[in-house]
Amino acid sequence: MQNLKIILQYDGSRYDGWQKQMNTSQTIQGKLESVLEKMTGQLVEVHGAGRTDAGVHAEGQTANFKLSEEYYPDQVLSYLNRYLPEDIKVLEISRAKERFHSRLNAVSKIYRYTVDTLEKKDVFQRKYVYGLGQSLDLNKMRQAAKLMTGEYDFLGFCSNKRMKKSSVRTIYWIHIEEQDGLVRIAFCGSGFLYHMVRIMTGTLIEIGLLKRPVSDIKKILETRDRQNAGFTAPPEGLALVSVSYEEN
């Protein structure tokens, strides 16, 4: 039995998210498993590091799966890229330790959210940015981002009202930059709750629009109440950039 680790990218525009579901065949995990089953003649379960939502993209998603027969990594990479849809591409593949798990062993992830502040979205970037069409106060947003940085209970930034596991996470840094009307917000953290990045982004956008004060961040973290946070930013502006492990 060999355990293979892959790094892949995908355009999530037409998919119902990463995780395989019973009511749709349009998931990233489902597409990967379908091709691997065709290659091996057996059912193969693929584990992803991040369960990206419907419409969310990935530049560096990590996943792993086990095969009962020995295959050369290059052979599997070539087969996957030959039969996967054009909007999914495997970038790298390598043998991993038997107990390696892409999600459980991840130590940090980087997500990036892109906001277009221009009047109309760029034609070629329209599927990968949120078209806000308004200018933002980046200084206010950076002040708020500093208050989000650190180890906190982020339940107030989570859409799952029935969260049973710990909602404590660590945000290592948040970078906000602007170029040619595009505001990019990058988040690096130990892990993220359901819709957490999109709710944090929505809150930062409202602060940037001067619709709420910077001090609201402390209120959200203290009350742990989703109702006190901002709107959930649309999925198309979000991308999983990379996943890190101790071996990196």
Choice among 53, 74, 122, 153 that is catalytic: 53
Q: How far apart are CA 127 and CA 87, in angstroms?
A: 13
* 172 within 8 A of 108, measured Cβ to Cβ: yes
Q: What is the DSSP letter of 118?
A: S
Phi-psi region of 187 (alpha: psi -120 to 50; beta: other; left: phi over 0): beta
Q: How far apart are CA 109 and CA 58, in angstroms?
A: 12
Tokens 């193969």 correspond to 44
User: Can 180 be counted among the known catalytic residues?
Assistant: no
Give the list of residues 6+ apart from residue 198 with CB closer than 8 angstroms, or none. 53, 113, 232, 233, 234, 235, 238
Give the list of residues 6+ apart from residue 225 with CB closer than 8 angstroms, or none. 156
Q: Which residues pair with 186 in a beta bridge?
A: 112, 175
Q: For helices 216-223 and 196-208, what crossing angle results, to 10°? A: 150
Q: Supply the residues annotated as catalytic.
A: 53
